[in-house]
Structure 1
Amino acid sequence: MRTKQQQTVGIREKPRLDKWIILSIQHLFAMFGATILVPMLTELSPAVALVSSGLGTLAYILITKGRIPAYLGSSFAFIAPIIAGMSIGGPEGVMVGSFFAGLLYGIVAIIIRATGVNWLMRLLPPIVVGPVIMVIGLGLASVAINMAMIDPVSETYSGIHMTVSLFTLLLTIIASIFFKGFFGLIPILFGIVGGYIFAMYQGLVNFTPVKEASWIQVPDFIIPFVTYTPGFSWEIIFIMVPIAVVTLSEHIGDQMVLSKVAERNFIEKPGLHRSIFGDGIATIISSLLGGPPNTTYGENIGVVALTKVFSVFVISGAAVFAIAFGFIGKVSALITSIPTAVMGGVSILLFGIIASNGLRMLIDNNVDIGKKRNLIISSVILVIGIGGAFIQITDDVQLAGMALATIIGIVLNFILPGKDPVKSSREMFEEMSSEKKDSEIS
């Protein structure tokens, strides 16, 4: 029988300075690839995304009283809504939509503080959230394929771009399957770096902006009442805000996993209301700077699980490094020089994994798709979400795609008979803890 594995560094323990720096840089690498990928896919600034993720993480740690070692980075769930919002109101309109998505987090946090979390579990059961997550991934499939195949200059098929994409995809797959330990947690970063080097030898990389960039440079912040005057668009609100409902469920899942890893029930202490409020404030901070919405990162939870370093000081160090990187002009220019073919190759795997995670949620929660009720809910969500259905509310306002699929899924779950019983957060934590003990004994 094995003894319980002890924490290497406790949640509020401050490591020795040299160890602190190394551990923080490790977390920076874990979040880097995914955090810069979202703004690159949505035509936002990667430098601003780094700064906003760092500031958002520091705010999150402060709001949760320094009791949850979680890093927050760019949310993939908002990629499609941001792309759609950019075509309607540009980046300024997207920031307003992101701000209201953050406000929704705050409202939910207040309700949870007053009434508990079980109502949210009933509102967003796995049979609703799983298919919606699949829609997020599959709905982005065409974006990944176009980036992989199309020359952005000629806007036609390019064999060189396709070759670079497939090479990048292969490297990412190899890193995911064969790398162990910490390196197994950063396959995206490995694929981007390897694909970038290969693309450079194919003549797809332009180093001129990197050479011309300053070492210290202020990112292209988009600040309300400074760089633009905010305007209100119901259409962007309807596109972006409902997605927060999905990311709320993902947030709960991340907190459950982190609770299992740290053997502390973070849902109860410091409380899910604080965690969700911190996530919402991080997204609001990002919207006030011009970055994408933020969310807790599974990659960094993986680093915590692997290293058993739970220190919030280490997470805070990574946040400070991210902010510093955002102000290094050479780094920002280097990121923007990454060819679309490289990002397309990584995205093929990444978007597929998002869709597969939705399927995994159904499997892990023993959702019986053979049951007519569940089959109907999942089928309707998938077709409406991927098919691009919309409801025209006014001449200028639509409720479309993923947002519409989420709302219809929630409604179907409420009106169709034969609901499965919903477990409380305490029951879920105790069940996960017992599973961990069983695995340790075996």
Structure 2
Amino acid sequence: MMFKKVYDIEDVPPLSKAIPLSFQHVFAMFGATILVPLLTKMDPSVTLFASGLGTLIFHLITRGKVPAYLGSSFAFIAPIIAASKAYGAQGAFTGMIAAGFIYLIVFGIIALVGLNWLNRVLPPIVVGPVVMIIGLSLTPTAISEASKGLLTAFVTAGIVVVANIFAKGFLKIIPILLGTVGGYLFAITQGQVNFETINHAAWFAFPNLTIVTGHMPVIAWGAVSLIAPIAIATMVEDVGHLLVIGDTVGRDLMHKPGLHKVLLANGVATMLSGFLGGVPETTYGENIGVLAITRVFSSRVIQGAAVIAILLSFIEKVGAAIQTIPQPVLGGITIILYGMIASVGLRNLVENKVNLASNRNLLIASIIFTLGVGGINIPIGQYSFEGVGPAAVIGILLNLVLPREKNESEEVGSSSGSGVSAG
């Protein structure tokens, strides 16, 4: 059973509704998208610009069939820092471009051989737990933010819950926006909002794109070796995100428009971001959570969020104002969004009637949960393979090598027939 739609993927909400709906996605992605460049010493405005532009390119390549937003990828933080120290920011940009090129190589392989092998590699017993840990692995961030002002976080989350359950009409489909605004106003009464950054910000400032500053990427093979291999981990995460979105909207997005198109789009966006001076991009779990809780699946809404992100990269005061949203407010929002992602993974297991009385299935799920939520870190040469990526890979390998019990069919689960089919 899929979520009841308010707006489907192809629907175009009226402008009076589309703008606030788009702002919900901006609020959902903004904190994490800005955090990555802050941690890696890159330019936040450039990253915000590249994020919006990359999302529009993603929708162009996928023909608007996948309502996803592309934001900064956390998986690249450590290698970008290491590459920047060793080869400078311009060398690191080359590593990011190379990461996008890895996406293009995998796109070519899938375009040639197809996706039939995914039915064997990604059955529900792997997909369900991987989707769950995508949400659960983010929960420490939500709790950390909420803990900096629990009352504010609970008020924010409470507004979202009340709006989602009891609101009528249009208010019912903007609970994230209502929660953010309501939580922000409450945070002001608690003295948790610092307006100083707004006062010091200019109204207009052109992003420091490499094509403007002249600090173009330079070839640094060491930076390529540090950054590019991380694309393997983020592609596994992209598969999980695409399955979550497909499950949420009730469509088989793995085959139409196709995983290869998604990887192509993500690769092009990442290469463009690196060329402009931004950071690598990935589909965002936060925005998938917004889809699930609002049931607004319109790609036009996501595209509107991308346009707003680009505009904000030029309007420094507005961007500064959004950055004043205190962490407890973001914590209250993400407590719900991240939990929603995990719940979609649980639904995948239930709808596919995965038999967890089977020792084989129980072992696969248990190991994926422990490795993913525990944040396993596997050092490989000069970089690390950590979190959801290695948990997913190990789960896939276990599914392939562990013998099936006599009463198990080739495909685990009977409702959807395959881990890559939408419910």
Instruction: State the SS of the aligned residue for 1:131.
Output: helix
Contact persistence 1:88–1:236 (CA under 8 A): no
Alignment of 1:361-376 (within 5 A): 361-376=348-363
The alpha-carbon deviation at position 87 of structure 1 amounts to: 6.3
Aligned equivalent of 2:232: 241
The alpha-carbon deviation at position 377 of structure 1 amounts to: 0.8
Contact persistence 1:70–1:300 (CA under 8 A): no
CA gap of 1:205–1:67, structure 2 versus 1, over 3 A, is closer
Partners of 1:43 and 1:391 lie apart in 2 by: 24
The alpha-carbon deviation at position 290 of structure 1 amounts to: 1.8
Contact persistence 1:125–1:422 (CA under 8 A): yes
Answer yes or no: is 1:251 the counterpart of 2:242: yes
Aligned equivalent of 2:3: none
Aligned equivalent of 1:138: 136
TM-score (norm 2): 0.76
Contact persistence 1:235–1:399 (CA under 8 A): no
Aligned equivalent of 1:440: none
Contact persistence 1:102–1:281 (CA under 8 A): yes
Q: Alignment partner for residue 411 of structure 2, among 421, 424, 439?
A: 421
Contact persistence 2:103–2:231 (CA under 8 A): no
What amino acid does structure 2 have at the position aligned with 1:206?
N
Partners of 1:25 and 1:201 lie apart in 2 by: 27
Contact persistence 1:25–1:321 (CA under 8 A): no
Aligned equivalent of 2:103: 105
Alignment of 1:315-330 (within 5 A): 316=303, 318-330=305-317
Aligned equivalent of 1:194: 182
Partners of 1:250 and 1:216 lie apart in 2 by: 35
Instruction: State the SS of the aligned residue for 1:284.
Output: helix
CA gap of 1:240–1:164, structure 2 versus 1, over 3 A, is farther
Contact persistence 2:59–2:66 (CA under 8 A): yes
User: What is the CA deviation profile of residues 81-134 of structure 1, one whole-angstrom value per residue up to 9, with x for unaligned ones?
Assistant: 355556655795986776555434323322232122222333223322322233
Aligned equivalent of 1:386: 373
Alignment of 1:15-164 (within 5 A): 21-22=15-16, 24-42=18-36, 44=38, 47-64=45-62, 66=63, 68=65, 70-74=67-71, 78-79=73-74, 81-82=75-76, 84-85=78-79, 88=82, 99=97, 102-150=100-148, 161-164=149-152
CA gap of 1:378–1:238, structure 2 versus 1, over 3 A, is farther
Instruction: State the SS of the aligned residue for 1:232.
Output: helix
Contact persistence 1:251–1:276 (CA under 8 A): no
Count residues in correspondence. 400
Q: Alignment partner for residue 364 of structure 2, among 360, 366, 377?
A: 377
Contact persistence 1:164–1:195 (CA under 8 A): yes
CA gap of 1:166–1:30, structure 2 versus 1, over 3 A, is closer
Contact persistence 2:368–2:392 (CA under 8 A): yes
Instruction: State the SS of the aligned residue for 1:331.
Output: helix
Instruction: State the SS of the aligned residue for 1:200.
Output: helix
Aligned equivalent of 2:320: 333
Name whichever of 196-205 and 47-56 sits farther off.
47-56
The alpha-carbon deviation at position 233 of structure 1 amounts to: 6.4
CA gap of 1:185–1:102, structure 2 versus 1, over 3 A, is farther
CA gap of 1:405–1:335, structure 2 versus 1, over 3 A, is same
Structure 1 unaligned spans of 5+: 1-6, 151-160, 436-442
What amino acid does structure 1 have at the position aligned with 2:198?
V
CA gap of 1:357–1:41, structure 2 versus 1, over 3 A, is farther
Aligned equivalent of 2:215: 226
- Report % sequence identity: 37
Partners of 1:211 and 1:269 lie apart in 2 by: 48
Contact persistence 2:47–2:273 (CA under 8 A): yes
Partners of 2:19 and 2:147 lie apart in 1 by: 34
Contact persistence 2:134–2:388 (CA under 8 A): yes
CA gap of 1:361–1:174, structure 2 versus 1, over 3 A, is same
What amino acid does structure 2 have at the position aligned with 1:114?
L
RMSD, matched Cα: 4.2
User: What is the CA deviation profile of residues 47-102 of structure 1, one whole-angstrom value per residue up to 9, with x for unaligned ones?
Assistant: 445423331233234324x4637352327xx44x3555566557959867765554
CA gap of 1:351–1:72, structure 2 versus 1, over 3 A, is closer
Aligned equivalent of 1:203: 191
Contact persistence 1:61–1:67 (CA under 8 A): yes
Q: Alignment partner for residue 295 of structure 1, among 279, 283, 288?
A: 283
The alpha-carbon deviation at position 332 of structure 1 amounts to: 0.7
TM-score (norm 1): 0.73
What amino acid does structure 2 have at the position aligned with 1:25?
I
User: What is the CA deviation profile of residues 20-44 of structure 1, one whole-angstrom value per residue up to 9, with x for unaligned ones?
Assistant: 6445424422421222132255454
Structure 2 unaligned spans of 5+: 1-5
CA gap of 1:147–1:109, structure 2 versus 1, over 3 A, is same
Answer yes or no: is 1:178 the counterpart of 2:166: yes
CA gap of 1:31–1:408, structure 2 versus 1, over 3 A, is same
Aligned equivalent of 1:438: none
What amino acid does structure 1 have at the position aligned with 2:283?
T
Aligned equivalent of 1:277: 264
What amino acid does structure 2 have at the position aligned with 1:341?
P
